[in-house]
Chain A
Amino acid sequence: MSNESLQTIKKILALVFINIMVLLLSGCWDRKEVNDLGLVTAAGIDKISDKTIELSVLLYIPKSAGSGQSMNGGSEVGDAQTLVRSAKGVTIAEAMSKLQEKLPRHIFWGHTEVFIFNEKLAKKGLLKHVDFIIRHPQLRERSQLFISKQKAKEVLSLLPPLERDLAAVLRELESLKVGMEVTVKDFALMVLSESGDSAVPWIKMLPPEGGKKKKETIAYIAGTAIFQKDKMVGKIDDSITRGVLWLRNDIRLATVTVKPKGANGYVSLSLQNASSKLIPKVDNGKWKVLLKANAEADIVQNTTQLDMTNIEVIKNLQHQLKKEVENRVKLALVHVQKDMKADIFGFGDTFNRKYPDLWKRDKYRWNEIFPNIEVTIDLDIKIRRQGMNSVLSAIIPEEVKQK
């Protein structure tokens, strides 16, 4: 009897305990419902005065599928999908708290993929703002950084015709790997590297097509902003950026057009499997870097009358292709190494890796050494495939003549 009653008491206690657990597990202090969150997909920071900045956030507005259209009577494309709000402050964090006053939803940073900084702000130094991005537990180090020509607020409030919002546009553009790809981590790493110079993609607004509204356009990656330490010192356009990509081993896709010697017209080639390596060398106190790169090329268009199955022609073409790429690299060196004197290629790091003792000794005069480093270029580009036809354009003109 007593044993039985003891067991029932035990059972009751267990039940009570489980119920208490349910109460405790159901809610905690940090509960956040999705419909209370304002998802930030991109953020832009502008300079207002020497001390104050303006933070603009692009919020994602979840569309209630289907129902919205009839209610609004066919609203314009993209009209209701994005929302940009901004607030001023001394730091991003302060601006954010002011922004929160104007937003009915809790600002959630976990999905922020793009950060746009205005040029003017970048010239004052970026690291103090990047600090917020790294420090905040919700923000991701994979967020992409951009420097914009126009005000970041204006850029964010664009209504892209094709993508959902500007964050998506920039992310897609970046994934095509036509320009540099710089995440918050990459930027911090570059600033902390031996030379401390960095580079960030530079965007500007594309003029809208005729007949479209002023805002119905996108911003695109038009070049690269060059930084000494974390301060922007200049920018290079997209064609020079290609050369920088070769030096940084970031080149993935490239189309090069060459004009073969003695031929009428051009040959376009697309490069694949490109990779490059920097090999430092110090000779009698002279600092040198050898850029060793290799790639494969496919012929994509041939407007000349050369026969692309001819091995001699291909050899010639290979030679010219190398020249062309070499020129790109040299152009990048002239602008970035000689003019801006910013080591965004990681020369300092390569020297440190190979000659740690020498680097320790001469690091203090790196600013003098860097612009005078001699760069030799050793390219190995092979033309592998000729495409789907061999000499189409070589045949047609003859037919024309016969007529």
Chain B
Amino acid sequence: MIEKGKISGSQMAIMMNPAIFATVLLLVPAITAKHAKQDMWLSPIWSSLMGFLAVFLAYKLNKIYPRNTLIEYCELILGKVLGKILGALYLFFYFHITGIIVREYGEFVSGTFLPHTPMLFIFGTMILVCSFAVYGGLEVIGRCSEMIVPVVLFLYLVIFIMLLKDLDIRNMFPLMANGLAPSIKGSIVPQSWFSEYILIAFFLPYLTNREKGLKWGLISVASVMFFIVLTNFTSLLLFGNLTSTLTYPVMIATQYISIAEFLEHLEAIVMAIWVAGTFIKITVFYYALTLGTAQWLKLSDFRPLVFPIGFLLISFGAWSAPSLQELSHFLSTSAPFYLLSLQIIVPFILLIIALIRNKFLRKKETATG
């Protein structure tokens, strides 16, 4: 095995939380609100089903191939040629997705805080920091997130608590005026985020307590669901119909905080949450990509690949979208199909093939034996 480190199930759960949540926080409430209107708080609950499914698929596949990651068992399941092709597809996919994440990070920071700083510089520095973490390996990433994530989530809750007095519960009603359809429609975009949970296929082989992988995976999905519901609730009860017209509802909500005309101007907290959260998110994706590439090329170590891939990620970040509108359009239209097909449907097919193959092999074994 290339990766010699081990992480615990709880570490995996903690590091997957911002790996999904960090980018949902900004663009997704507005996209959900467009479809679901006052039922937007329901949408994450529907979409989390996709997250549970992804964790389940990754766990099942891992049960069959306990020591291999997604890229490796593509080959074991589909054979050498097809497996390599699918593996390459996955690697390109993760390149693209990580590029998009990097871009979202850059768009937000330059759009709200540093309008004059070149975006390449903004995400270049981020990638540099992430590459150190990736270079350190899985254990380092696990411990980093154990340190950072609780702080991030705590700060996030603080924002929510400080907004409590401005929330208006009436914005929630009428409940489900048009039935369940709008909230399910609104759940499609977050679904693609939740499907990213298939990423745990890269971490399950390195768990110290693998039998607990499923449990911690599900806990992690539930925690993400909780925070997205909270996010949507906050923006809905604060902004009502206005939510869908805002670009970054959470950001504006934080600007809205004013306690005793003294505790104001707290956007810096969002910035801190955002930078720390995306750091984990990019690192997790970056790590999976690097490890996958090394496994695909059958290298003995993934470390020499870290910096070259980081360099490529910077360019992917720059190329992934010409503008924020295009990015947002991509995320709300084609991205769900793109992400769901590669992160849910393909693993599902892989699992079925693997199950059939195993049965077939076992029969053969019993027949010969």
Contacts of B241 in A (CB 8 A): 189, 192-193
Which A331-381 residues have C-beta < 8 A from chain B? 349, 352-354, 356-357, 360
B113 touches A30 (CB 8 A): yes
CA distance A141 to B177 in the complex (A): 29
Complex partner residue of B240 from A30, A134, A189, CB under 8 angstroms: A189
Complex partner residue of A30 from B115, B177, B246, CB under 8 angstroms: B115
Which A24-54 residues have C-beta < 8 A from chain B? 24, 28-30
Total interface residues on B, using CB and 8 Å? 28
Contacts of A185 in B (CB 8 A): 238-239, 242, 256
B256 touches A29 (CB 8 A): no
The A interface is mostly helix, strand or loop, or mixed, namely helix
B240 touches A141 (CB 8 A): no
B246 touches A134 (CB 8 A): yes
What 0/1 readout, one digit per residue, does chain B (105-134) give for beta carbons within 8 Å of chain A? 000000111111110010001000000000
Which B215-263 residues have C-beta < 8 A from chain A? 238-242, 245-246, 252, 255-256, 258, 261
B114 touches A353 (CB 8 A): no
Contacts of A352 in B (CB 8 A): 174, 177
What 0/1 readout, one digit per residue, does chain B (264-284) give for beta carbons within 8 Å of chain A? 110000000000000000000
Contacts of B115 in A (CB 8 A): 30, 137
Which B150-182 residues have C-beta < 8 A from chain A? 170, 173-174, 177
B117 touches A110 (CB 8 A): no
Contacts of B238 in A (CB 8 A): 185
CA distance A140 to B253 in the complex (A): 10
CA distance A188 to B240 in the complex (A): 10
What residue of chain A has the Cβ atom nearest to residue B115's Cβ? A30
Asked if A175 CB lies within 8 Å of chain B CBs, one says yes
B177 touches A356 (CB 8 A): yes
B265 touches A110 (CB 8 A): yes
Contacts of B252 in A (CB 8 A): 134, 141
A353 touches B173 (CB 8 A): yes
What residue of chain B has the Cβ atom nearest to residue A131's Cβ? B245
Which B3-24 residues have C-beta < 8 A from chain A? none
What residue of chain B has the Cβ atom nearest to residue A137's Cβ? B112
> Are A353 and B239 CB-contacts (below 8 A) given A137-B112, A141-B255, A175-B261?
no
B117 touches A30 (CB 8 A): yes
Asked if A142 CB lies within 8 Å of chain B CBs, one says yes
CA distance A192 to B117 in the complex (A): 35
CA distance A188 to B264 in the complex (A): 21
Contacts of B116 in A (CB 8 A): 29-30
What residue of chain B has the Cβ atom nearest to residue A111's Cβ? B265
CA distance A193 to B241 in the complex (A): 7
B240 touches A142 (CB 8 A): no
Which A138-170 residues have C-beta < 8 A from chain B? 140-142
CA distance A237 to B126 in the complex (A): 56
A192 touches B240 (CB 8 A): yes
Which A195-223 residues have C-beta < 8 A from chain B? none
Complex partner residue of A142 from B112, B114, B118, B255, CB under 8 angstroms: B255
CA distance A343 to B329 in the complex (A): 36
CA distance A193 to B173 in the complex (A): 12
Tell me how far the C-beta of A354 lies from the nearest C-beta in chain B, rounded to whole angstroms. Answer: 7
Contacts of B246 in A (CB 8 A): 134
Contacts of B240 in A (CB 8 A): 189, 192-193
A189 touches B177 (CB 8 A): no
Complex partner residue of B114 from A28, A141, A349, CB under 8 angstroms: A28
Contacts of B118 in A (CB 8 A): 29
What residue of chain A has the Cβ atom nearest to residue B261's Cβ? A175
Contacts of B173 in A (CB 8 A): 353
Tell me how far the C-beta of B30 lies from the nearest C-beta in chain A, rounded to whole angstroms. Answer: 13
Contacts of B112 in A (CB 8 A): 137
> Are A142 and B242 CB-contacts (below 8 A) given A175-B261, A354-B174?
no
Tell me how far the C-beta of A48 lies from the nearest C-beta in chain B, rounded to whole angstroms. Answer: 29
A28 touches B239 (CB 8 A): no
Contacts of B258 in A (CB 8 A): 142
Complex partner residue of A188 from B111, B114, B174, B242, CB under 8 angstroms: B242
Contacts of A29 in B (CB 8 A): 114, 116-118, 121
Contacts of A30 in B (CB 8 A): 113-117
CA distance A359 to B245 in the complex (A): 23
A24 touches B174 (CB 8 A): no
CA distance A287 to B133 in the complex (A): 64
CA distance A265 to B254 in the complex (A): 51
What residue of chain B has the Cβ atom nearest to residue A360's Cβ? B177
CA distance A360 to B178 in the complex (A): 10
CA distance A280 to B278 in the complex (A): 47
Q: Which of B242, B245, B265 has the most CB of A within 10 A?
A: B242
Add 5 more A-B contacts to A110-B265, A140-B255, A189-B239 (CB < 8 A): A29-B121, A142-B256, A193-B241, A352-B174, A356-B177
Closest 9 CB pairs of A and B: A356-B177, A29-B117, A353-B173, A356-B174, A30-B114, A29-B116, A192-B241, A137-B112, A353-B174
Residues of A bordering B, CB below 8 Å: 24, 28-30, 110, 134, 137, 140-142, 171, 175, 185, 188-189, 192-193, 349, 352-354, 356-357, 360
25 pairs, CB–CB < 8 Å, chain A vs chain B: A28-B117, A29-B116, A29-B121, A30-B115, A30-B116, A110-B265, A134-B245, A134-B252, A137-B111, A137-B112, A137-B113, A141-B252, A142-B255, A142-B256, A171-B261, A175-B261, A185-B256, A188-B242, A189-B241, A189-B242, A192-B240, A193-B240, A349-B170, A352-B177, A357-B177
